[in-house]
């Protein structure tokens, strides 16, 4: 037998000996070589993905604890725990065990609160992370697929949250399920069957809690973990993006090595996120499910709302008018079309999600920019995208706020109906106004950057020149700062291009129109020539504006 595969290497240090032992058996030296000193750029806005990942870990840890005590059954029991207002009340085993976790399992209440706060944190961190990726253009080639994986994670996260929200089987979550039943029933042709299959018969049935439970603790977490693995694998393949700046190019990554600095920071950050969630759970009640009582189809309470990440769907349902200006529920083609439920979901909430998923391709279609981008855009340097992003936020936020229209009415002493009218208007025109204002603000900030590069920083020192004129001394920005301010592109509108047959088709015309709206007003980066000119002509403040108007292209 040949021993050529066995090495005679003898390590000198203890670390070396352990490493050698492991390496000889599983061959980890390749992994250490690959990742040990891999470079990660450092920026506060890059941390939200980690917050989401760590929240997911905390969710799995706390959720596992809860499964040991939770009883996912709808079989009726008589409560005899120590919560006085429910003593002797008939309720499902699920609700009874949720009460037991809260009152009779030591630390159970804390674990429930950790689990729920971690869920809200998970969804918030994913949302902020996604907004960061959007506003900096990090979704562009080669990362489009990872953007879709991330968007899918968001949607699966919503499912994870909703199935969990429904498990305690209290009046709040039961009415949530009843709304889901109504939404299923609005689906043409097959909706009634979907509802009957989902609930195992008529709502609420006796199967739904155990079905949601297996989805919540097995199927959905498995999908989440799989997607997270794919997401992170792609991050390793692509390497992280970085903000523009001196020394940072499309072909390198500038930052800190995984070992030791980045690993220490990222590892320490896990404990910090855990600490934040524990702090919230120690001091703030979340989902006081004992208030709601066991699910029963008769009662309901003021303030029946979903968790915030489902709010946009609930808000869409609230805003769509039912019978104005005509009944949105009618008979057609042998069936009942329940458009007042179907359209808010398919059109309002659905369009928000679809626009999100397909954005990388929409943007590429308009800009025809198919290059690889590893250096991010500062949001101000992509006024169109930042405007679109803010428009999306306003549309989404309007729906989310609509889900709390009743609380807005009571807390701001306004009429519930007026809140609804205002939010309907906000959903329609808010995004347009938001787009316009944001684009203007971005252009203004870009002009401010030009001003800084051309004329330096205002020092506040006013001096009198020999011939009597007063001027304020401007200190030029140093070359590193200057490079960060000028290293960006400012694409011009791309006119409609004829296709192979030499014709301009209508879709291409739409594209050209969008391109015009996005790029017509633009500010270009200062060039060395301009800077030189500005130095020769200190008095001309018009240098800034002048070069902008020169760059406007029709």
Question: Does 537 contact another protein by CB under 8 A?
Answer: no
Looking up tokens 């949001």 gives 379
Distance, CA of 197 to CA of 179 (rounded, Å): 16
**What H or E segment, with its residue span, contains residue 331?**
strand 329-332
Closest CA to 63 of 2, 117, 131, 127: 117
Residue 21 is a binding residue for another protein (CB under 8 A): no
**Candidate list 25, 27, 88, 466; residue touching another protein; CB under 8 A:** 88
> Would you count residue 98 as binding another protein (CB under 8 A)?
no
What is the 3-class SS of 198-243, one letter each residue? HHCCCCCCCCHHHHHHHHHHHHHHHHHHHHHHHHHHHHHHHCCCEC
Instruction: Give the torsion through C-alpha atoms of 62, 64, 69, 73, to 10 deg.
Output: 120
Per CB under 8 A, does 60 bind another protein?
no
The stretch among 197-205, 386-394, 428-436, 512-520 that binds another protein (CB under 8 A) is: 197-205
Shortest distance, CB of residue 107 to another protein, whole angstroms? Answer: 6
Query: CA 402 to CA 423: how far, in whole Å?
Result: 7
113 near another protein (CB under 8 A): yes
410 binds another protein, rule: CB under 8 A:
yes
Considering the complex, what minimum distance in angstroms separates the CB of residue 279 from another protein?
4
Nearer to another protein, 324 or 470 (CB): 324
Positions 241 through 270 that interact with another protein (CB under 8 A): 246-247, 249-257, 260-261, 264-265, 267-270
Longest dimension (CA), the chain: 97
Would strands 457-464 and 470-475 be described as parallel, antiparallel, or unpaired?
A: antiparallel
Instruction: Kindly report the length of the chain.
Output: 554
Name the residue nearer to another protein (CB basis): 16 or 36. 36
**Taking contact as CB under 8 A, which single stretch among the options 172-180, 346-354, 437-445, 503-511 is the one that binds another protein?**
172-180
**Nearest distance from residue 515's CB to another protein, in Å?**
23
Coil/strand/helix, residue 374: coil
Radius of gyration of the chain (CA): 29
Q: Which is nearer to another protein, 257 or 456 (CB)?
A: 257
Residues in 424-483 at the binding interface with another protein, rule: CB under 8 A = 479-480, 482-483
If the CB atoms of residues 285 and 461 are measured against another protein, the closer one turns out to be 285
Residues 6+ apart with CB under 8 A from 385: 134, 135, 137, 363, 377, 379
Residues in 294-313 that interact with another protein by CB under 8 A: 295-309, 311
Strands 90-92 and 470-475 turn out to be: unpaired
Residue 78 interacts with another protein (CB under 8 A)? no
Among 344, 360, 383, 430, binds another protein (CB under 8 A): 344
61, 131, 219, 276: residue in contact with another protein (rule CB under 8 A): 276
Q: Which stretch binds another protein (CB under 8 A): 32-40, 349-357, 363-371, 534-542?
A: 32-40
CB of 466 to another protein, least distance (A): 33
Among 63, 293, 379, 389, binds another protein (CB under 8 A): 293
Cβ closer to another protein: 267 or 513?
267
**Interaction between residue 70 and another protein (CB under 8 A):** no
Q: Check residue 84 for interaction with another protein (CB under 8 A).
A: yes
Q: What is the DSSP annotation of 166-200?
A: HTT-BHHHHHHHHHHHHHHHTSTTTHHHHHHHHHT
The reply on whether position 414 binds another protein by CB under 8 A is: yes
Which CB atom, from 338 or from 382, has the smaller least distance to another protein? 338
Candidates 174-182, 362-370, 495-503, 538-546; binding stretch for another protein (CB under 8 A):
174-182
Number of residues this chain uses to bind another protein (CB under 8 A)? 175
Angle between helices 108-135 and 383-402 (to 10 degrees): 150
Q: Report the 10 Å Cβ neighbour count for 197.
A: 11
Query: Does residue 553 interact with another protein by CB under 8 A?
Result: no
Among 131, 187, 346, 445, binds another protein (CB under 8 A): 187
Q: For residue 92, what are the β-bridge partners?
A: 76
Dihedral class, residue 75 (left if φ above 0, else alpha if ψ from -120 to 50, else beta): beta
**Minimal distance, residue 338 CB to another protein, in Å:** 4
Give the pair of three-digit tokens for residue 363.
Answer: 């943007």
Q: Is 185 in the site for another protein (CB under 8 A)?
A: yes
The Cβ of residue 297 has, within 10 Å, a number of other Cβ atoms equal to 11
CA dist 4 and 42 (Å) reads 44
Q: Is residue 12 at the binding interface for another protein, with CB under 8 A as the rule?
A: no
Q: Does 235 bind another protein (CB under 8 A)?
A: no
Token pair, residue 251, equals: 């072909």
Q: Is 1 in the site for another protein (CB under 8 A)?
A: no
Q: Does residue 273 bind another protein (CB under 8 A)?
A: yes
Using CB under 8 A as the binding rule, whether residue 65 contacts another protein is answered as no
480-519 residues near another protein, rule: CB under 8 A: 480, 482-483, 486-487
Under 8 Å between Cβ of 375 and 250: yes
């Amino acid at each position: 037998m040949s021993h050529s595969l066995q090495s005679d290497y003898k390590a000198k240090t203890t670390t070396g000996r352990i490493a050698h032992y492991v390496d000889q058996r599983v061959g980890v030296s390749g992994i250490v070589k690959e990742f040990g000193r891999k470079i990660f750029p450092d920026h506060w806005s890059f941390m939200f993905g980690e917050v989401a990942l760590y929240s997911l870990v905390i969710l799995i840890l706390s959720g596992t604890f809860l499964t040991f005590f939770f009883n996912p059954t709808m079989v009726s029991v008589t409560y005899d725990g120590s919560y006085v207002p429910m003593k002797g009340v008939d309720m499902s085993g699920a609700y009874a065990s949720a009460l037991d976790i809260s009152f009779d399992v030591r630390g159970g209440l804390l674990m429930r609160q950790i689990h729920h706060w971690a869920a809200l944190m998970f969804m918030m961190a994913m949302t902020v992370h996604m907004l960061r990726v959007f506003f900096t253009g990090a979704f562009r080639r080669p990362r489009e697929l990872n953007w879709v994986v991330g968007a899918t994670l968001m949607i699966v996260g919503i499912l994870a949250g909703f199935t969990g929200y429904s498990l305690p089987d209290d009046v709040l979550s039961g009415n949530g399920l009843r709304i889901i039943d109504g939404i299923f029933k609005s689906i043409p042709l097959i909706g009634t069957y979907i509802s009957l299959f989902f609930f195992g018969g008529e709502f609420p049935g006796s199967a739904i809690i155990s079905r949601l439970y297996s989805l919540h603790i097995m199927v959905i977490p498995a999908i989440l973990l799989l997607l997270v693995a794919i997401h992170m694998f792609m991050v390793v393949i692509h390497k992280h993006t970085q903000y523009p700046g001196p020394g940072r190019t499309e072909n390198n990554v500038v930052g800190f090595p995984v070992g030791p600095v980045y690993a220490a920071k990222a590892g320490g950050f896990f404990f910090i996120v855990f600490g934040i969630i524990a702090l919230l759970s120690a001091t703030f009640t979340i989902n006081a499910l004992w208030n709601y009582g066991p699910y029963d189809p008769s009662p309901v309470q003021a303030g029946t709302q979903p968790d915030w990440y489902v709010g946009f769907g609930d808000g869409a349902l609230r805003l769509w008018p039912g019978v104005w200006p005509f009944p949105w529920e009618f008979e057609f083609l042998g069936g009942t079309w329940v458009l007042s439920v179907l359209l808010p979901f398919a059109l309002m909430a659905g369009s928000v999600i679809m626009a999100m998923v397909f954005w990388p391709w929409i943007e590429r279609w308009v800009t025809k920019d198919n290059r690889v981008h590893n250096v991010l855009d500062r949001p101000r340097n992509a006024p169109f995208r930042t405007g679109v992003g803010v428009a999306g936020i306003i549309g989404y936020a309007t729906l989310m706020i609509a889900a709390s229209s009743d609380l807005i009415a009571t807390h701001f002493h306004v009429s519930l109906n007026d809140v609804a009218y205002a939010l309907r208007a906000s959903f329609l025109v808010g995004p347009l106004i938001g787009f316009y204002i944001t684009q203007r603000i971005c252009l203004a900030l870009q002009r401010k950057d030009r001003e800084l590069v051309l004329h330096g920083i205002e020092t506040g020192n006013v001096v009198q020149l020999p011939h009597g004129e007063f001027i304020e001394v401007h200190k030029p920005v140093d070359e590193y700062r200057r490079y960060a301010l000028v290293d960006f592109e400012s694409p011009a509108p791309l006119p409609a291009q004829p296709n192979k047959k030499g014709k301009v088709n209508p879709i291409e015309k739409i594209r050209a129109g969008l391109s015009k709206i996005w790029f017509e007003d633009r500010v270009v980066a200062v060039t060395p020539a301009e800077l030189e000119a500005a130095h020769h002509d200190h008095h001309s403040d018009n240098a800034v504006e002048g070069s902008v108007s020169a760059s406007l292209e029709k």
